């Protein structure tokens, strides 16, 4: 199928829910994607921080092929050994005791919201509110959307479920003031992804942990995008040297196969009893076989260290580029989760980069996001910077105020 055919069929048969770029991919290998017309691209989007091992990694391909030849699905009416193996790996590599599997980040956050409210029942029925941060993003299902403190995602879907209070990120005084007798939990992203790659300050997160302890609140970390090595630590909570009570994962955990997870300390996890929550497809043999391959490969190939080291190099190269190009007004990030702030619309930069063989995306109208696979090398960074530099040089400088 050629690109134009894909465009025409998509416009004819698919709901108009995405602003898709005019490229269709046929295959991928490592850091590269190849479109249906045979053109190759360096991938610094990774399926929105999903393809942790890059494309067609042999360990992931073999795990999927092998599992598909045995059993794909049985449902959670029965024991699923592959689930137990992934859960054990996650528990042994984190501060949590129990795991629930689902299919996506939004589902993981929905489960976390339900768990927080059920757990709060030990204090009585009046505790149900969850404090979230402005510019957060927790998913597009209704409760996760209500927790997403960005009006542009919420417009047209009102009335949203009640019970969420938004405060500015990195403002402990505002958070403390928002706590009431109805509060049961605080839900935060250690680095806000869709908000523009905005890191929460370690001191702030430590202060939030202390406040939650003082007021008997659960601390929930949404690590859908930051988890599984993305920030240069296996989990982003490690940067602040604190332990949340609950954590959600998805994106990079399956390497492209849909899977999400809710992790919790045992005292919190006990709030869920049979019938309280569930999923027909969650934690299927296929998804868990893929996740186990991704997690063990990340560990075996030292990709968390690679994310830290190459991520530092990427920030260094981008900051040097910013010093030479007035169009760049800021660079920020952690590990391989990086944003480039522009003094102009980011869309033309994204388009020009794609036409030059580099995939990046605009997470905000003037913000580029770079989230390459964890296998990225310094040479890949150099190639990406060279393309970005050429693109920036071809654009007019922003008008002076």
Alpha-carbon span 141 to 260, nearest angstrom? 14
DSSP 8-state class, residue 54: -
Rounded to the nearest 10°, the torsion over CA 376, 378, 383, 385 is: 100
Cα angle 382, 385, 386 (rounded to 5 degrees) comes to 85
Q: Which residues of 75-98 are buried (b: 16+ CB within 10 A; e: fewer)?
A: ebeeebebbebbbebbeeebebeb
Closest CA to 387 of 374, 400, 372, 398: 372
Cβ distance 271 to 118 under 8 Å?
yes
User: Which token pair is 13?
Assistant: 């048969």
Using only the alpha carbons of the chain, give its radius of gyration.
21
Lay out the sheet containing 25-29: strands in order across.
Answer: 25-29, 32-35, 40-43, 358-359
What lies within 8 Å, CB to CB, of 39 at 6+ separation is 357
The helix-helix angle for 58-68 and 285-300 (nearest 10°) equals: 160
Residue indicated by tokens 């403390």 = 176
Alpha-carbon span 28 to 180, nearest angstrom? 51
DSSP 8-state class, residue 166: E
Cβ distance 120 to 127 under 8 Å?
yes
Maximum separation of any 2 CA atoms in the chain, in Å: 65
**So which residues are the catalytic ones?**
137, 222, 251
Cβ distance 235 to 89 under 8 Å?
no
Alpha-carbon span 253 to 293, nearest angstrom? 9
């Amino acid at each position: 199928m050629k690109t134009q055919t894909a465009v025409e069929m998509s416009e004819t048969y698919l709901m108009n829910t995405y602003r898709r770029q005019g490229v269709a991919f046929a295959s991928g290998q490592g850091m590269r994607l190849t479109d249906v017309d045979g053109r190759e691209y360096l991938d610094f989007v990774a399926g929105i921080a999903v393809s942790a091992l890059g494309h067609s990694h042999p360990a992931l391909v073999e795990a999927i092929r092998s599992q598909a030849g045995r059993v794909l699905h049985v449902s959670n009416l029965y024991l699923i050994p592959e689930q137990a193996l992934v859960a054990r790996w996650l528990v042994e590599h984190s501060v949590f005791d129990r795991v629930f599997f689902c299919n996506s980040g939004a589902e993981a956050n929905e489960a976390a919201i339900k768990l927080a409210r059920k757990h709060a029942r030990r204090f009585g029925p009046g505790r149900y509110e969850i404090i979230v941060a402005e510019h957060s993003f927790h998913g597009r299902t209704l409760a996760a959307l209500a927790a997403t403190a960005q009006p542009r995602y919420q417009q047209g879907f009102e009335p949203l479920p009640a019970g969420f209070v938004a405060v500015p990120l990195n403002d402990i005084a505002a958070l403390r003031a928002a706590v009431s007798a109805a509060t049961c939990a605080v839900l935060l992203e250690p680095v806000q992804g869709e908000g523009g790659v905005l890191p929460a300050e370690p001191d702030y997160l430590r202060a939030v942990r202390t406040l939650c302890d003082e007021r008997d609140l659960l601390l929930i970390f949404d690590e859908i995008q930051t988890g599984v090595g993305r920030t240069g630590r296996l989990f982003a909570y490690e940067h602040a040297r604190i332990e949340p009570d609950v954590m959600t994962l998805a994106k990079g955990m399956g390497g492209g196969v849909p899977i999400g997870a809710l992790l919790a300390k045992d005292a919190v996890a006990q709030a869920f009893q049979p019938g309280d929550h569930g999923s027909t497809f969650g934690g299927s043999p296929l998804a868990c076989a893929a996740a186990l391959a991704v997690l063990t490969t990340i560990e075996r190939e030292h990709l968390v260290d690679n994310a830290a080291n190459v991520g530092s190099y990427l920030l260094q190269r981008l900051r040097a580029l910013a010093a030479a190009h007035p169009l760049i007004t800021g660079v920020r990030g952690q590990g391989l989760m990086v944003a480039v702030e522009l003094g102009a619309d980011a869309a033309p930069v994204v388009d020009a980069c794609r036409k030059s063989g580099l995939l990046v995306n605009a997470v905000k109208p003037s913000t580029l996001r770079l989230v390459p696979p964890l296998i990225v090398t310094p040479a890949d960074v150099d190639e990406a910077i060279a393309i970005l530099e050429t693109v920036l040089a071809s654009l007019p400088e922003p008008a002076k105020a």
